[in-house]
Amino acid sequence: MTTLSFTYSHWNEYELLADEELERDYLDFTELDINFLDVELLENMLDQYSDLDAELLKEKETTGDVDIQGTEEGFDTATQTNTVVDGEKVTLIRNVQSIVEISIDQGEATTVVLEQDGKLLDPIVINNGDTNSINITQ
């Protein structure tokens, strides 16, 4: 069969749009979506706006069964943190002057406190964070 001889009767043979293709969400944020050029290198500007951002950081972002507070899924411009919810894990990546990458089981209740270059970030709380506490100082 050539491309010129393709008829409607061949359509069912190829199933160009299978049901599984239509149901899958292709817009998930993955580690491949991280743009390292989005990082604001002038972090001191964040200190000036910390009071304004404090209320925004406390807003909850619910991602499926995971409750994340203190940052947004994807790239959060206020905290300069990439949050990737993939499968059964939540990965936090922060790459400004130092690199932090931590993966946490999606079902765990964890609080993550990051301090990089003398700047203490607001805690990132996953699932109310009452079971585990992780403190990272660089």
Residue-wise pLDDT for 95-111, tens only, equals 888 889 999 998 889 99
CA neighbor of 29 nearest in space, from 92, 100, 80: 92
Domain limits of the chain?
27-137
φ, ψ at 101 (rounded to 5°): -140, 120
Q: Do residues 107 and 84 lie in contact, with contact meaning Cβ atoms separated by under 8 Å? A: no
pLDDT value of residue 55: 56
Q: How confident is the model at residue 45 (pLDDT cuts 50, 70, 90)?
A: low
pLDDT value of residue 33: 80
The first and second tokens of residue 43, run together, are 């972090």
pLDDT value of residue 65: 73
Pick the more confident residue, 23 or 53: 23
The 10s digit of each residue's pLDDT in 15-36 is: 555 566 666 666 777 788 888 7
